[in-house]
């Protein structure tokens, strides 16, 4: 009896106390310049993530500008030598999981329950400025190889808005790679684990049993080291036809598009995140994970959406500047506090031109929304810079409202018109121009808006505005607002080829007839082939020859030529991501919240237009060398949805590696 009382009462109590102490000292901490910048609360990457980033940083860097060696944990001449010393064991769990990363110069005012890892910097002095780890790059930038400027750590701590992290004096270097290296060993399973040899007695963990229930299986345990299991690097560099160009003729660069979820929007729409524990929604934790993700990949160009203005200026921009980026920010108009940002590495690009876009136009009733964009013209920097065409990078976050495809199309037309301005600038200087269009387009793959971007044209006549983005099915509604020419007033100055019109064109465009809601025989004939008429209602009885009629493409062309009603742009763009995951053929998604999951973020890049035989065309286009895979909705729910400990936003980042080829001699006239 006494034994069972002890068993039922004392055992759970001791388990509870044990768990508490685990929680207390579970997370590894990271110290920067003596301050705790990483409390272990966010995502910790696992071995494959580290492997991926190593692969990323070491592979395919054919150009001279890029840092050739970020692989400090692999390189024998790496910046850091890591030796973890166990100093305390308090509950028998994996020692490394509790290890605090502190530096050897550190004084003793650290948390006594934590273990320490000693990092010894070696050989940096003999390397070139950029051949060491990221931390060393930062040091070098400050002309001091031993002591890092405190501002990076301050930014990690959010000191601009008041830091609450404890101070730990004397730690000169924040080293992300060291953090990752540590986390490699942090993934010890929690559950039955039997020693396999002598000297491993401390690896025999007690079983995790939910008392009094007994399971044959170890209970599910949160692991914060599985990020890597999910997102893999898809390498296309081998499979690309003609990709084997001389390395000296190519400029490889990486570009990321990432909607980081503005904290104000998160707080304004709590219903979208009911599945999330509070701690993954806290901005400080999300910021750390976002910055860490950027540090892991160090894309040459970063296109961000939903960047809250204060967070950007006080916290993100200073860190990114320290990392070697130049940042451009455009806040949304009106009372919205977030906007878009583009950051590029100054060692890889120089800026030729920039345009900040506001889609709200007081003179145009249609364009009454506060969305914005950024269009940049960047010149790649490398030994053969003169032979490399500039790259136009555009970043935008289109209107969310699923019903207002008309607004989305007009916003998109402005982006294309501004890209066209950049292209014309290049052309007038005798240069080609490649284009990368990034952003959150709030439109699904194969939706009319997506098709418009990908194919260069959209026959829109009669298309219900809710259909444009494919976000929701509003076919049950009685009344549908539809698209008719003109899509926007000519006062906007943008043609249906998405180019700015010259003044004479603007004047002439007023004479085009408007077919809007005229039920003439002719207009009814046109409607026969409008996209909406081609969507078969689910309950429509199939009568051969009557209700199975599909439009003849030639008829469509004829109508389109005769009546217009087609929107064009002149770029040849391909989406870096496909709508299904190549391995599982399940839909890939880029965003998920309580309302559902979808792909709405894209990176489009200019390609060689298929079928074009022109010499100039065939010389151009970017090649995709690889991309970071997206996930399926099921994958993300198995991680408890978004945001989670590993992925800090309700969107995933998109990351691709592109190759820009040097121009043929005839094209390579200097600006």
Residues in contact with ligand KL2 by the rule CB under 6 A: 259, 265, 269, 272, 400, 440, 442, 591, 600, 650-651
The residue sitting closest to ligand KL2, measured at its beta carbon, is 400
| CB of 115 or CB of 591, closer to ligand KL2 | 591
Q: Are 310 and 263 in contact (CB under 8 A)?
A: no
Least distance in Å: CB of 483 to ligand KL2?
Answer: 22
| CB of 281 or CB of 625, closer to ligand KL2 | 281
| CB of 422 or CB of 630, closer to ligand KL2 | 630
Least distance in Å: CB of 600 to ligand KL2?
Answer: 6
Is the sign of the CA dihedral 594, 595, 598, 600 positive or negative?
A: negative
Least distance in Å: CB of 595 to ligand KL2?
Answer: 6
| CB of 397 or CB of 565, closer to ligand KL2 | 397
| CB of 259 or CB of 566, closer to ligand KL2 | 259
| CB of 591 or CB of 653, closer to ligand KL2 | 591
Least distance in Å: CB of 316 to ligand KL2?
Answer: 18
- Residue whose C-alpha is closest to residue 653's, from 387, 303, 225: 303
| CB of 336 or CB of 569, closer to ligand KL2 | 336
Round to whole Å and give the CA distance between 203 and 225: 19
Round to whole Å and give the CA distance between 45 and 36: 18
Q: Are 165 and 157 in contact (CB under 8 A)?
A: yes
Round to whole Å and give the CA distance between 275 and 594: 7
Burial class (CB in 10 A: 0-12, 13-18, 19+), 213: exposed
Least distance in Å: CB of 596 to ligand KL2?
Answer: 10
Round to whole Å and give the CA distance between 210 and 109: 37
Round to whole Å and give the CA distance between 408 and 372: 12
Least distance in Å: CB of 494 to ligand KL2?
Answer: 23
Q: How distant, in Å, are the alpha carbons of 146, 469, 520, 663 from that of 384?
A: 35, 41, 61, 10
Q: Are 139 and 112 in contact (CB under 8 A)?
A: no
Instruction: Tell me 464's DSSP state.
Output: B
Q: What is the separation, in whole angstroms, between the first and last Cα of the chain?
A: 92
Least distance in Å: CB of 471 to ligand KL2?
Answer: 8
| CB of 180 or CB of 272, closer to ligand KL2 | 272
Least distance in Å: CB of 263 to ligand KL2?
Answer: 12
- Residue whose C-alpha is closest to residue 412's, from 463, 377, 457: 457
Round to whole Å and give the CA distance between 126 and 128: 7
Least distance in Å: CB of 161 to ligand KL2?
Answer: 22
Q: Are 133 and 80 in contact (CB under 8 A)?
A: yes
| CB of 253 or CB of 273, closer to ligand KL2 | 273
- At 109, phi and psi to the nearest 5? -85, 30
Q: How distant, in Å, are the alpha carbons of 228, 260, 280, 451 from that of 285?
A: 19, 13, 7, 37
């Amino acid at each position: 009896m006494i034994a069972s009382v002890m068993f039922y009462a004392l055992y759970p109590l001791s388990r509870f106390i044990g768990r508490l102490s685990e929680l207390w000292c579970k997370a590894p901490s990271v110290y920067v310049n003596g301050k705790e910048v990483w409390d272990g609360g966010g995502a910790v990457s696992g071995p494959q993530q580290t492997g991926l980033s190593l692969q990323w940083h070491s592979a395919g860097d054919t150009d001279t500008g890029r840092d050739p060696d970020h692989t400090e944990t692999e390189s024998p001449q790496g910046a850091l030598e890591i030796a973890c010393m166990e100093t305390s064991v308090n509950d028998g769990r994996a020692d490394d999981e509790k290890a605090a990363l502190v530096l050897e110069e550190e004084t003793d005012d650290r948390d006594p329950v934590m273990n320490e890892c000693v990092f010894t910097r070696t050989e940096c002095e003999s390397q070139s400025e950029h051949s060491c780890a990221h931390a060393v790059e930062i040091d070098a930038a400050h002309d001091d190889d031993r002591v890092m400027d405190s501002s990076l750590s301050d930014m990690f701590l959010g000191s601009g808005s008041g830091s609450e992290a404890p101070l730990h004096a004397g730690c000169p270097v924040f080293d992300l790679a060291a953090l990752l290296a540590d986390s490699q060993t942090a993934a010890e399973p929690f559950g039955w684990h039997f020693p396999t040899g002598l000297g491993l007695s401390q690896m025999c963990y007690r079983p995790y049993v939910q008392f009094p229930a007994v399971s044959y299986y170890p209970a599910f345990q949160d692991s914060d080291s599985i990020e890597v299991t999910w997102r893999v690097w898809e390498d296309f560099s081998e499979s690309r036809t003609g990709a084997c160009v001389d390395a000296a003729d190519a400029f490889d660069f990486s570009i990321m598009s990432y909607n980081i979820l503005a904290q104000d929007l998160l707080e304004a729409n709590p219903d979208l995140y009911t599945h999330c524990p509070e701690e993954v929604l806290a901005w400080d934790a999300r910021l750390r994970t976002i910055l860490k993700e950027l540090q892991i990949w160090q894309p040459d160009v970063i296109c961000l959406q939903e960047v809250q203005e204060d967070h950007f200026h006080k916290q993100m921009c200073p860190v990114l500047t320290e990392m070697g980026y130049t940042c451009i920010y455009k806040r949304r108009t009106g009372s919205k506090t977030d906007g878009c940002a583009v950051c590029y590495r100054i060692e890889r690009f120089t800026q030729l031109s920039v345009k900040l876009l506001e889609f709200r136009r007081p003179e145009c009733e249609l364009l009454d929304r506060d969305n914005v964009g950024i269009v940049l013209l960047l010149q790649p920097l490398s030994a053969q810079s003169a032979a490399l065409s500039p790259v136009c990078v555009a970043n935008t976050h289109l209107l969310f409202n699923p019903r207002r495809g008309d607004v989305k199309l007009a916003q998109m037309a402005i982006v294309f018109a501004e890209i066209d301005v950049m292209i014309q600038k290049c052309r007038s200087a005798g240069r080609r121009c490649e284009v990368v269009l990034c952003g959150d387009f709030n439109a699904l793959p194969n939706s009319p808006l997506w098709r418009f971007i990908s194919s260069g044209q959209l026959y829109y006549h009669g298309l219900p505005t809710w259909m444009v983005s494919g976000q929701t099915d509003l076919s049950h509604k009685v009344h549908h607002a539809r698209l008719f020419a003109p899509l926007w007033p000519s006062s906007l100055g943008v043609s249906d080829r998405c180019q700015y019109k010259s003044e004479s064109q603007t004047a002439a465009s007023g004479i085009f007839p408007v077919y809007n809601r005229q039920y003439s025989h002719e207009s009814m004939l046109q409607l026969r082939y409008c996209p909406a008429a081609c969507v078969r209602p689910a309950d429509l009885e199939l009568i051969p020859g009557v209700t199975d009629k599909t439009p003849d493409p030639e008829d469509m062309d004829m109508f389109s030529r005769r009546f217009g009603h087609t929107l064009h742009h002149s770029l040849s763009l391909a989406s870096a991501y496909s709508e299904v995951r190549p391995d599982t053929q399940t839909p890939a998604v880029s965003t998920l919240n309580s309302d559902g999951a979808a792909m709405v973020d894209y990176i489009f890049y200019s390609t060689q237009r298929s079928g074009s035989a022109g010499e100039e065309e065939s010389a151009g286009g970017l090649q995709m060398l690889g991309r970071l895979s997206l996930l399926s909705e099921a994958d993300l729910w198995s991680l408890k949805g978004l945001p989670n400990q590993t992925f800090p936003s309700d969107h995933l980042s998109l990351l691709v590696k592109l190759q820009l080829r040097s121009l043929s001699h005839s094209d390579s006239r200097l600006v």
